[in-house]
Amino acid sequence: MTPGKRKAPGRGESRAALIAVAGDLFARKPYDEIHISEIAEEAGVANGLLSYHFKGKRGLYLAVVAQALDEVNALFQPQEDQEEQETTREDRLRGLVRRQIEYRREHAHTMLALFRAGGQDREVDELFERGRQAGAAFFLDLLGVRSAPTPTLRVAVRGLMGLLDEATFDWLAHDCDMADSDLAEIIYSAAVAVLTTVRTAHPEIRSAIDELTATA
């Protein structure tokens, strides 16, 4: 077997192998510099399988983006294998921030590539929007909001998603030049500060915000 070339996967593994290889390539090289033959060779499959599963390089690229963002979105939920149960609002928010930072650090190249693609590709932006909606739903649930939020609360919650993305993007772009715990504390404190700005106008969520503020 040629050095660096993967062993040919079984039929049931070929789609996953293509996504894994393409994800690595798209994270390291510009989209236009990657060829179908390169992806297929790295994955150890025939070129035709790429077209069969994804209808071409564009379809594979979108599958890679969708999988990465689905994994990020799943982190808005408590993880079954976590050592401690998240029983308080503080636990939930700190757990969410910690999971997001850890995942993004472990997939730094992929996350940086995805962030840089944002705003330049309509279909990629639609996938990002799913993540923003998942994040907004997390924060509204954290605050105990069960109905449609008011405009001020909606804007505040959506802003928190930008805060999380921009803070982690800058950190990754600077080679993770501060401790995870320091970054997590900045994001937690900033998120609580944003929510505090709408506290007065929303009596129904004051106690939830007060609980978060007590430890910020």
Write out pLDDT tens, residues 47-84. Answer: 888 888 898 889 998 999 888 888 888 888 866 655 56
pLDDT at 97: 95
pLDDT at 13: 62
pLDDT at 29: 81
Q: Which has more pLDDT, 151 or 29?
A: 151
Residue 11 has pLDDT above 60, yes or no: no
What span, in angstroms and rounded, lies between the C-alpha atoms of 199 and 210?
A: 9
What span, in angstroms and rounded, lies between the C-alpha atoms of 39 and 31?
A: 12
Residue owning tokens 């049931």? 12
Which amino acid type is present at position 59? G
Q: Which of 5-14, 51-60, 109-118, 127-136 has the lowest mean pLDDT?
A: 5-14
151-173 vs 108-117: helix axis angle to the nearest 10? 130
User: Which parts of the chain are beta strand (E)?
Assistant: none
61 neighbors 31 (Cβ within 8 angstroms): yes
Q: Which of 50-54, 96-100, 186-190 has the lowest mean pLDDT?
A: 50-54
pLDDT at 163: 95
DSSP result, 96-121: HHHHHHHHHHHTHHHHHHHHHHTTS-
> Please, what are the domains in the chain?
11-63 (1.10.10.60), 75-213 (no CATH)
144 neighbors 95 (Cβ within 8 angstroms): no
